[in-house]
Structure 1
Amino acid sequence: MRELFTLDLSVQLSGILGDAGTAAVLETAEVSQTISDGTQALFTANNVWMMLATALVFIMHLGFAGVEAGFTQAKNTVNVLFKNTLTPIIGILTYYLIGFSLMYPGFAEPGWFGFGGFPLSLPENGNTVEYASAGYTYWTDFLFQAMFAATAATIVSGAVAERIKISAYLIFTIIFVGLVYPVIGSWKWGAGALDAAGFYDFAGSTLVHSVGGWGALAGIMIIGPRLGKYVDGKVIDKPGSSVPLAVIGVFLLWFGWFGFNGGSVLSADPAIVSYVLVTTCLAACTGALGGFITGYVVFKRLDLGMVLNGILAGLVGITAGADVISPGWACFVGLVAGILVVLSAITLDKFKLDDCVGAVSVHLTCGIWGTLAVGIFGIDGDGNDMAFWPQLKGVLVCGAAAFISAYIIFTILKYTIGIRVSEQHEREGLDSHEHGIRGYTITYDQ
């Protein structure tokens, strides 16, 4: 079709401009068409990759569900899965209604609070190549960011499992994802005050993981440990329902992290995306080794749980600087994260802070480490060392905002509707009392 159009046009032009003029016009038209085709192809490739990355981040919620259900007691399996099912639903809806506009308000100048419209404010030409530097559509951007918002809330779910009321958890999630997370995120990703101060967080070691981790820490401080967890100065182990399920969950999270970090390139640039995937994978591997070795030294056993959390620790640790930290240093960042996750879990137990799945140790402790590591090992696009002080400032500012906000929300819920189930329900299991069914039902023919 295009060849027929060009031939017909050349016949018309030759009678007006002559052969030389016609050739010049057609050459210009071909160049313009080539540029247009190239732009459209790049736009399509970028958008397809971003949509694929969105799907990978979405599947991480199944990973979280597997980890949390596997690491918690069988009598609470349905309760854990119920929360993990509703969390992305709440996260996406609240992010649609208000979160996205809070996180990307379009600051006139770097600030601390802004609002871009209710519920979504579609920019002019939002679905064309003018949006996001010809990277992807407005709708793809929203959905990708919504997955991150829901992830921050899921982190809290595992830490406070087995004793929190469903109603209290759902209310907390709505407020935390709808208001707290996006406002904090706007300070960097929305071109706010921390971004202007030079703070760097590529894919969310602080903005997603530490924010969720601070929320989890506030939750376990206020709600208290599970019954019988700490007795006479000893830590009583409460075996999880399914080790295989926990392993599947961790590998699903590792799989999804390729979209979490790879999608944060915000384009399908093969050089940067492949680099990010390599540093991400290396950090996960050395994180597993750090958890394995430290767990063996401390507990004198081959602790699978610490290996699994070591994988997640390495992934969280590299997330802030996956694009600016070399592969060699990425291995080191992951190794240290794997060591820290074990030491952090031990420390929490000493303070009788009961975290059912190690969420605080994985996401908060290693999120802080990964963010600071950018200022130690990171090299920017011009070959210059990244600065440490902006990283520390970002950790402190975001940490204070997330922890104080979560602490206030949990405290208000505690003294209004209550946040903890009854002692009877906790001892007998939340599945039968809250949901009327059990997670594991094995029957035999009589």
Structure 2
Amino acid sequence: MPELNYALDTFYFLMCGVLVMWMAAGFAMLEAGLVRSKNTAEILTKNIVLFAIACTMYLLVGYTLMYTSSGSGILPSLGFLIGEENSVDAVLAGGDDAPYYSARADFFFQVVFVATAMSIVSGAVAERMKLWAFLAFAVVMTAFIYPVSGFWTWGGGWLSEIGYSDYAGSGIVHLAGASAALAGVLVLGPRRGKYSKNGAIYAIPGANMPLATLGTFILWMGWFGFNGGSELKVSDVGSANNVAQVLLNTNAAAAGGVIGALVLAKLWFRKADLTMILNGAIGGLVAITADPLSPTGLGATFIGAVGGALALVGIVALDKLRIDDPVGAISAHGIAGIWGVMVVPFTNSDASFGPQLIGTVAIFSWVFIASLIAWLILKAVMGIRVSEEEEYEGVDLVECGLEAYPEFIVGGNR
């Protein structure tokens, strides 16, 4: 049976990776819906190109940094490409050390995670960042910044050694992406017209709420692969039951996030604010990602509800601090991510608060500081912000030479 189990677990792992890859479409649709129409083509360009860059840089450098380094230290080993595939003899040997899925399947699943972390950044810096500066940062983030903290945790590094627990990446993926986004937004500054000199905050509505809602549903669906695949196998009764519990809890937390954000928005704003509800769903999903296995269904609903409410609170708080995040990514992925990591010990007796807190601080500090340095270098070397005139006209025409929603098409004689 080892060969059959190996084939089944490999197939399961690959299909979960496909679901996570589909999240790239979700981020693209969500962000395209929440920016103004004049910036839509550029945000879509960012999303498809960042995915390609993440896949390439993680293949060349990132995966080796994160997973094939030896020891439990702070600095990983430098290497290239992803090594050899598992042999038939290794599979048939059995035992605890025998591989139970393809090494290539592992790479494929992990590469879509690094793309997810980078996708978080694109929405936060939308509508005023130069395309090529963003893509240059994507190279650094996916080849080096993310893999280093990933080595500390999933790669067997020092955070793993002290007992940091993060099942599918509330901190490792989502907080990391939000930390890089926060650094970029602080260097970039807010969109023009967002804040007045007298302290007023002006809403800048997105262009397409149906598209944003579709993007959220796609992310919700893709999250089943994100969390379900992190069980790593499905070929025995225990693992199959775990996968079922993970998917149940993932769905329950998303629902809880929607309800938490809806109720808080109604109490706070007297309106059922759709943008807050969408971010609430994502906040709930992010919150449960640190441990979607241990809680009961009702426990997962509560964790998600708090995550959704925190995403809303974070969006309002960042606005008051004049930190402009057009899609709410820093709050939904960062603040909800911290909540998700820190709530793990309440439902998982194998986790404790000390390592969780150390891991949260370490991931945020590393990614934020490294990203801040990278953003500042890019600002000095090539500039990261479009001109005031270009921002007014929209970055679609400036960066891409076309509009996503052209109002007039001038053709030849008919």
TM-score under structure 2 normalisation?
Answer: 0.94
Partner of 1:274: 244
Secondary structure of residue in 2 paired with 1:415: helix
Counterpart Cα distance in 2 of 1:133 and 1:63: 36
Deviation at 1:115, TM superposition (A): 2.1
1:50 aligns with 2:10: no
Distance 2:125 2:268 in 1: 25
Query: 2: distance between equivalents of 1:315 and 1:355?
Result: 19
User: Is 1:93 matched with 2:59?
Assistant: no
Within 5 Å, give how 1:250-399 maps onto structure 2: 250-268=216-234, 269-380=239-350, 386-399=351-364
**SS of 2:31 mapped into structure 1:** helix
Unaligned runs of 5+ residues in structure 1 are 1-37, 381-385
Code of the residue aligned with 1:62 in structure 2: it is A
Partners in 1 of 2:372 and 2:88 — Cα distance?
38
Instruction: Give the Cα–Cα distance (whole angstroms) in 2 for the partners of residues 319 and 204 of structure 1.
Output: 6
Gaps in structure 2 of 5+ consecutive residues: none
> How many angstroms apart in 2 are the aligned matches of 1:227 and 1:126?
60
The residue type equivalent to 2:195 in the other structure is Y
- The equivalent position to 1:190 in structure 2, one of 155, 179, 185, is 155
Partner in structure 2 of residue 9 of structure 1: none
Percentage of matched positions with identical amino acids: 40
1:85 aligned counterpart, secondary structure: helix
Secondary structure in structure 2 of the residue aligned to 1:234:
coil
Q: Which residue of 2 aligns with 1:122?
A: 84
AA aligned opposite 2:81: P
Could you say if the C-alpha distance between residues 127 and 399 of structure 1 is closer, same or farther in structure 2, counting changes exceeding 3 Å?
A: farther
Tell me the distance in 2 between the aligned counterparts of 1:339 and 1:79: 30
Aligned to 1:148: 113
TM-score (norm. length: structure 1) = 0.87
Q: Distance in 2 between matches of 1:140 and 1:414?
A: 37
Give the paired residue count: 403
Q: Name the aligned partner's letter for residue 441 of structure 1.
A: P
Contact 1:126 1:137 in 2 (8 A): no
Partner in structure 2 of residue 113 of structure 1: 75
Runs in 1 of length 4+ with deviation above 3 angstroms?
130-134, 442-446
The answer as to whether partners of 2:178 and 2:330 remain within 8 angstroms in 1 is yes
Q: 1:415 deviation in Å?
A: 1.6
Please give the secondary structure, in 1, of the residue aligned with 2:272.
Answer: coil
Letter aligned with residue 174 of structure 1: V
2:22: which partner in 1?
Answer: 59
Q: 2:2 aligns with which of 26, 30, 39?
A: 39
Picking from 181, 206, 211, the partner of 2:176 is 211
Change (3 A) 1:128 1:311: farther
Residues 66 and 150 in structure 2, CA contact (< 8 A), matched pair in contact too: yes
Confirm or deny: 8 A CA contact 2:86 2:102 kept in the other structure: no
Deviations 1:333-389 (A, max 9, x none): 111111101110010001100001000001100001000010233244xxxxx2111
Native 8 Å contact 1:58 1:147 kept in 2: yes
Higher Rg of the two aligned structures: 1
Contact 1:61 1:88 in 2 (8 A): yes
Matched ranges for 1:3-42 at <5 A: 38-42=1-5
CA deviation vs aligned residue, 1:404-427 (integer Å, no higher than 9, x gap): 011111111112211100000000
Partner of 1:236: 202
The correspondence for 1:163, drawn from 118, 122, 128, is 128
How big is each residue's C-alpha offset from its partner over 1:76-99, in whole Å with a ceiling of 9 and x where there is no partner?
Answer: 000000000101100000000000
The CA distance in 1 between the partners of 2:278 and 2:123, in whole Å, is 15
Which whole-Å CA distance do the structure 2 matches of 1:403 and 1:369 have between them?
Answer: 18
Q: 1:248 aligns with which of 214, 230, 254?
A: 214
Partner of 1:12: none
- Which residue type is aligned with residue 143 of structure 2? G
1:179 equivalent in alignment to 2:144: yes
Distance 1:304 1:95 in 2: 35
Deviation at 1:121, TM superposition (A): 2.1
Task: Verify: 1:421 aligned to 2:386, yes or no.
Answer: yes
Partner SS, residue 126 of structure 2: coil
The DSSP-based 3-state class of the residue aligned with 2:27 is helix
Amino acid at match of 2:87: N
What letter corresponds to residue 250 of structure 1 in structure 2? T
Aligned equivalents of 2:333, 2:357: Cα separation in 1: 17
Note the alpha carbon deviations across 1:197-238, whole angstroms, 9 max, x for none.
Answer: 000010000000000000011111110000000123221111
